[in-house]
């Protein structure tokens, strides 16, 4: 009888432990580009994440009552990593595009910004496709900007050169190995404000093509994770209504440079 009672007690303890583990809040893991992408995401000398987008991620996770971790993954492999379930979502300035939505789903837009072209100071600011014939244009691989270069500038006679990280493209432009770079205007603004970026200036924003550039940036998610998508969307809406996006934008002096989620 004692042995039977001990077995029953042990079984009950195991069941309670399993129930506790099931009810415990699981951490969420998000990934961003391994290369620095200021002012949105980058790692400081201590290896700590910082930037507008990282602060927004923390605010979203607090709104969802979730503890979140951000990990770095090379941009050209970030969607395969999501599909292989190496993380829960992509939180790294990924534009919502029809091409990407063939593989993954997205949350609602949480910011948008212009795609611009920069080049050496004093250069010809005409960025019409026919004016860039013979020019080499750099862009980060597997981005909407690289796709835009391929669609509009390469057929007109320009050459496209892609890079694993945006910082590499910027470095080649500063060194004179590129004629132009196309990328997000905000992150290029950070480069132009640096010592290395003193070489160059904005030539202009490219005409919007929503099919290529998308309507904005969202959290990349697996198609089956609809509950997580709904939870993130609710948090985005709540933060928008609370004015958190505006607060973060002022903190990083990005007023007027970002389109933010609507209130209501």
Assign 3-class secondary structure to 43-72.
Answer: ECCCCCEECHHHHHHHHHHHHCCCCEEEEE
Instruction: State which H helix or E strand residue 20 sits in.
Output: helix 2-23
Average pLDDT, the chain: 92
Residue 156, C-beta contacts closer than 8 angstroms, at least 6 positions apart: 129, 130, 132, 133
pLDDT tens digits, 73-103: 999 999 999 999 999 999 999 999 999 999 9
pTM: 0.87
Look up residue 39 and give its two tokens.
């002012």
d(CA 37, CA 1): 67
- Report pLDDT for 129: 98
What does the DSSP assignment read for 202-227? EEEEPPP-HHHH-SSB--EE-TT-HH
Where do the domains of the chain lie, and which CATH numbers do they carry? 27-112+216-251 (3.40.190.10), 115-207 (3.40.190.10)
- Per-residue pLDDT band at 8 (split at 50, 70, 90): very low
pLDDT tens, 210-253? 999 999 999 999 999 999 999 999 999 999 999 999 999 999 99
Higher-confidence residue of 1 and 54: namely: 54
pLDDT of residue 6: 40
- Give 166-205 pLDDT, tens digit per residue: 999 999 999 999 999 999 999 999 999 999 999 999 999 9
Cα separation, 224 vs 81, whole angstroms: 15
* d(C-alpha 189, C-alpha 196), whole Å: 12
Q: Tens digits of per-residue pLDDT, 98-156?
A: 999 999 999 999 999 999 999 999 999 999 999 999 999 999 999 999 999 999 999 99
């Amino acid at each position: 009888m004692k042995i039977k009672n001990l077995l029953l007690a042990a079984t009950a303890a195991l069941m309670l432990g399993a129930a506790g583990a099931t009810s415990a809040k699981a951490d969420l893991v998000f990934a961003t580009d391994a290369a620095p992408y200021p002012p949105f995401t980058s790692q400081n000398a201590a290896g700590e994440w910082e930037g507008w987008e990282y602060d927004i991620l923390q605010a979203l996770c607090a709104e969802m009552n979730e503890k979140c971790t951000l990990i770095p993954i090379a941009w050209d492999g970030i969607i395969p990593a999501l599909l292989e379930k190496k993380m829960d979502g992509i939180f790294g300035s990924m534009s919502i595009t029809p091409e990407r939505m063939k593989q993954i789903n997205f949350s609602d837009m949480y910011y948008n910004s212009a795609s611009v072209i920069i080049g050496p100071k004093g250069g010809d600011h005409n960025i019409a496709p026919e004016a860039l014939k013979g020019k080499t244009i750099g862009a980060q691989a597997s981005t909407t900007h690289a796709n835009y270069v391929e669609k509009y500038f390469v057929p007109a006679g320009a050459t496209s050169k892609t890079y694993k990280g945006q910082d590499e493209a910027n470095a080649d432009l500063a060194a004179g190995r590129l004629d132009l770079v196309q990328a997000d205007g905000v992150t290029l603004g950070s480069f132009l404000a640096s010592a290395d970026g003193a070489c160059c200036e904005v030539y202009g924003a490219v005409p919007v093509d929503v099919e290529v550039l998308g309507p904005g940036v969202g959290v990349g998610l697996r198609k089956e994770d609809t509950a997580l998508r709904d939870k993130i969307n609710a948090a985005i809406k709540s933060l928008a209504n609370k004015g958190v996006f505006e607060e973060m934008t002022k903190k990083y002096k990005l007023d007027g440079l970002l389109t933010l989620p609507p209130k209501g």
